[in-house]
Amino acid sequence: DGGITQSPKYLFRKEGQNVTLSCEQNLNHDAMYWYRQDPGQGLRLIYYSQIVNDFQKGDIAEGYSVSREKKESFPLTVTSAQKNPTAFYLCASSTDSVSAETQYFGPGTRLLVL
Amino acid sequence: RKEVEQDPGPFNVPEGATVAFNCTYSNSASQSFFWYRQDCRKEPKLLMSVYSSGNEDGRFTAQLNRASQYISLLIRDSKLSDSATYLCVLSDDYGQNFVFGPGTRLSVLP
């Protein structure tokens, strides 16, 4: 089955620790995105990538980093510089930008700070 | 002004009711429009795209008014399973920037 997977479903971070959230898709989509959602709020864009080996900052990139070494993978690292990381993290993908196809989401990762 | 604004909600309606949600946007360059639904603690899922001529999918009808920069979603004969948060989503001409509204929560009551 084609789709987007995220792991882990829940992640606990200790203060000062970097953690990495996984996002994999087998939809052959070019574009991938990371969003953060806080309780009762909309999605905010962290980073996005239109093509392998290229990515752009979104609205709230500070304290996060990404890589796009493979088309199907777009991991997000939450660094110790992100002071308020507790949130629901959603990864999405879409076909190439010209077609303006909509986005499909993975099941999300909930990050909690200990 | 926020890029995308939605009815604040929550909407609490009885089963069988008709309910309408509105969404306004500020960027006139927006080209593509969608409604997503998001269940509690789950990812958003595409409900329907919104076309200029308006479109219908079963009990759901979406309308777009470019001149006034708003889109709407009408749900007829509400079911308990329609209870969710409904997100208004736009993208620009290049499909690169997707902007999400804050969502409107709907609770359909027995």
* Mean pLDDT, residues B66-89: 96
For position B51, what pLDDT does the model report? 85
CB nearest to B43's CB, from A48, A50, A90: A90
Q: pLDDT tens across B1-41, in order? A: 678 999 988 999 999 999 999 999 998 888 889 999 999 98
pLDDT < 50 stretches in chain A: 100
For position A100, what pLDDT does the model report? 47
Residue B95's pLDDT band (boundaries 50, 70, 90)? low
The candidate with the shortest Cα–Cα distance to A49, out of A23, A11, A14, A86, is A23
For position B96, what pLDDT does the model report? 63
Is the peptide bond between B10 and the residue preceding it cis, with omega within 30 degrees of 0? Answer: yes
Cβ of B87 within 8 Å of Cβ of A48? The answer is: no
Beta bridge partners of A113: A13
For position A103, what pLDDT does the model report? 85
CB nearest to B102's CB, from A42, A48, A102: A42
The candidate with the shortest Cα–Cα distance to A23, out of A77, A66, A74, is A74
User: Token match 């239109």: residue?
Assistant: A50
The candidate with the shortest Cα–Cα distance to B93, out of B30, B51, B26, is B30
For position A62, what pLDDT does the model report? 96
Cβ of A42 within 8 Å of Cβ of B87? The answer is: yes
